[in-house]
Structure 1
């Protein structure tokens, strides 16, 4: 078996070296649960483009985010490192956060730019803005940025559905209106939710066609605002789903996915383009029917139960990735080294990269996933360390906790805010193959589970002994002068932070010749 894997890897390296550099597209949903897509079994979701991608590509059953909330999960995706190493903790960055992703972190975009790629992010960033906008994407290897710098509920929420229907709550009225950036300039404030998906799609497809015309390899990071609360949709998708407002939002996101695939096929580059779809964290279950679905898994966003961090994931590359399903253990961390190796760039050696190269999983659909994975809560501390560890089919909980994202009346008491962090020694142990809902702890007092716990304990000791915790960037706080404003110094703040020179709803297409 080991000899076969070596032969496969050798062939992959040889084949890759003979091909032109592949285009890379990452499609990243927001607060989309494992059970939200039709191809993952939801009975009323309509996601034909993602379902087609799954039918033509490789669907993952054991794929994970490293965090059950936004900023740390996005940092891990782009850097291949656990959030405690990058400082993306505790919690998530806010409108007005002083901190951001440290400049010394290397992102996938920076790696690919080094290899001659054109790089763009369209959509949600959520890794910082800063007092001098020093944490925007163009400081991290991205040639182009069109999008919002954080979640759209971190602003006042005005209109979410056609024609002028209000959002389900007013979100953060004390913050500046949602700013739509192009590179480091605010081009619309507040962003027009009814046209936002069209705006994003125009930029993403324009970038694809521009790079294809130049015959330049590219990296597109398409970070959707959907399906995060408050859900929104354009005229085309308002009242389009029997699933309600969440379904409308999902339909619009799926349409965006379709537009990107149309651009890839239309540009004639499908056979040289690697596309990967996943989500940042689990669903906001406390939103009820507007909160998404974790499928068979317990809890959701904000917790280290499976519902918070196990994600839908699909890989697509016609002629290179065979259609199928994999149960190999993999994570967002693994995209950084996998993509680096795909384009023959060495991963940085001056820091720990927590991801693994999952090429054999992608291209041979065989063993080659990771053996273990660490689970951190939204607010990790060195004194508590990892909350849980996945080892093969087993998961050991050293701590469990609910989250303030769940109200007191949420039906599962393990998830809601009244459940404080509880320590377990020995840890709670579950076999996730047999008990994906984490409802039946195994008896660890004797064989064979005592030996499994001993093995996991040794993994924990070794891992935590080698972890250097970075300064927590999110603890630096917030300030008004870090809140994005199209008219700095205006009054009355923040209501004055609006653009008067851009007609609401106009779409922006990437500037010709920008890259």
Structure 2
């Protein structure tokens, strides 16, 4: 049985005239063997909110380059990250699988989690079709620094020919960051801001390093606008004025209260960082044009999850007294929740795709797309075989990029199974079904057992229901007024969750890494 997802036009985006009309009814059709294999660029930002760009309705932040990019392709109004926090989202994007199947219950390192060697990534699939592959930026799927204690697979083990990456964010600050590794070798302190260093490295790879006779895959994974935030003054100064102060009152933060003290003077730093990101993205896109790769390159621009939660000492019960979060002014637009939240604002993210050879310019699409869909979409375009020896959650989304819907065999689940008091108001999972989203809570964790043991033995016992077509802000729980809908969806959520839950590894019992599939070792 298939569940057809009917999606929503959202008021927030209708005012964005630069994007033009909705996608026409042009059929995606099959990919012909004679079609040239497209180059692929995935540009993954960190903690960029659904409402943080001009083309998504932000009244303050200036993003002219990304807005122009959106006018050259399709803007997705119902695009979602694979998870609600960093590492799970990145795992899902690269593998096409719900990250909980791969054991990413939280971020890399938690409970021993890292991407295992037997996972098959998009880079590995494309290499079977003659692609040259590169990764730049934040990895956060394994510890890149090798030691006697840690020897985990890195980008080079997961299909990337060339990589310039850091294990985590630039926690010491985005300027002159000193923990990059290039193909396994420490680089030392770099000159400039994280995103600009990535742009320089990616440009050098595109223009001087790669074999230009081959199609390429380039993944650029920025630190920005994750905290800590410290943009060049030329960008932050754009937002140090009374007009911005007045517009700031119109910004929503997913139903999350702001802090109990005034941190408004810091907002210019966040807004400036997004403009800095826009500028760096423009430089990279110029390189693509200079390399005569504009028409036959699919560029996917997106985010790993919703915007970071601002500090609120009352709500966090004093546990989040982290000054870097005083700079969190990202917005999920009209949606509820932020990073980590299974509510819409935690995983609905910007999604823009430009591929002039096949996608009409200046279009929008309200078809639901999840980052797990990128692998099967790109694999199909590259005529690479998608693995059949494992459960895949992604679907070929090229039709969605042309304004059509996607039929899924199972609904998609987003999760954040915490039991901490900080998140006591938060559901543990969300499931999308047509216009509805069903939220589920696990039973309360007892003092016995670990978090993973609790999660892997639990199913949802409490539920909430929202209709996103009439209530995108998820303000009106319909569980009491539509009990028949809840009873219809509950067994689907529980069945889907059990399949994912039972496949995920128990890191405490995992003894040794599994080998790569034989078909991908050569």
Question: Same fold by TM (over 0.5)?
Answer: yes
SS of the residue corresponding to residue 73 of structure 1 reads helix
Supply the distance in 2 between the matched residues of 1:23 and 1:458 (Cα, whole angstroms).
41
Q: Which runs of 5+ in 2 are unaligned?
A: 5-24, 241-266, 311-324, 421-425, 444-457, 511-522
Give the direction of change, closer, same or farther, for the CA distance of 1:475–1:202 in structure 2 (3 Å limit).
farther
Q: Deviations over 1:108-131 (max 9, x none)?
A: 111111111110011111011253
1:442 aligns with 2:443: no
Q: How far apart, CA to CA, are the structure 1 residues paired with 2:166 and 2:233?
A: 21
Shift of 1:424: 7.4
Identify if the C-alpha distance between structure 1 residues 119 and 379 changes in structure 2 by more than 3 Å, giving closer, same or farther. Answer: farther
Aligned to 1:109: 123
Question: Which of these residues, 202, 205, 212, is aligned with residue 204 of structure 1?
Answer: 202
Contact 1:91/1:378, CA 8 A, preserved across alignment: no
Q: Given the superposition, is the C-alpha separation of residues 81 and 65 from structure 1 closer, same or farther in structure 2, using an over 3 Å criterion? A: same
8 Å contact kept, 1:71–1:93: no
Contact kept, 8 Å, 1:160 with 1:231, in 2: the verdict is: yes
Partner of 1:18: 34
Q: CA deviation at 1:178?
A: 5.0
> Partner of 1:265: helix, strand, or coil?
helix
Distance across 2 between alignment mates of 1:442 and 1:326: 27
CA deviations 1:251-298 (Å, max 9, x no partner) are 121111111110111111111000001100111131355331111111
1:182 to 2:182 alignment:
yes
Instruction: Tell me if structure 2 keeps the 8 A contact 1:88–1:472.
Output: no
Q: Report the alpha carbon displacement of residue 314 of structure 1 after superposing the two structures with TM.
A: 0.5
Distance in structure 2 (CA, Å) of the matches to 1:105 and 1:423: 26
Q: Secondary structure at the match of 2:194?
A: helix
Counterpart for residue 483 of structure 1: none
Residues 85, 375 of structure 1: alpha-carbon distance in 2 compared, 3 angstrom cutoff: same
Q: Which residue in the other structure is 2:332 paired with?
A: 294
Aligned pairs for 1:140-159 (under 5 A) are 140-153=158-171, 157=172
Give the counterpart of 2:433 among 360, 379, 391. Answer: 391
Q: Which residue of 26, 45, 66 maps to 1:50?
A: 66
Secondary structure at 1:128 match in 2: coil
Unaligned regions of 5+ residues in structure 1, if any?
165-176, 402-421, 477-515
Question: TM-score w.r.t. structure 2 length?
Answer: 0.74
1:72 and 2:88 are equivalent in the alignment? yes
Within a 5 Å distance, the mapping from 1:82-481 to structure 2 comes to 82-93=98-109, 99-129=113-143, 131=147, 132-153=150-171, 157=172, 178-189=178-189, 194-210=192-208, 214-234=212-232, 237=235, 239-242=237-240, 244-286=268-310, 287-288=325-326, 290-322=328-360, 323-362=362-401, 364-368=402-406, 370=408, 372-377=411-416, 379=418, 387-399=429-441, 427-445=463-481, 449-467=482-500, 468-473=502-507
* Separation in structure 1 between the aligned mates of residue 348 and residue 72 of structure 2, nearest angstrom: 22
CA contact (8 A) 1:67 1:281 kept: yes
Asked if 2 retains the 8 angstrom alpha-carbon contact of 1:62 and 1:328, the reply is yes
CA contact (8 A) 2:305 2:346 kept: yes
Q: CA deviation at 1:63?
A: 1.2
Cα RMSD (Å) of the superposition?
3.1
Asked if 1 retains the 8 angstrom alpha-carbon contact of 2:108 and 2:114, the reply is no
Aligned residues: 422
Distance 2:185 2:210 in 1: 26
CA, structure 1 residues 312+7, in 2 after alignment: closer, same or farther (shift >3 Å)?
closer
For residues 379 and 76 of structure 1, do their structure 2 counterparts lie closer, same or farther at Cα, with a shift above 3 Å needed? farther
1:174 maps to none
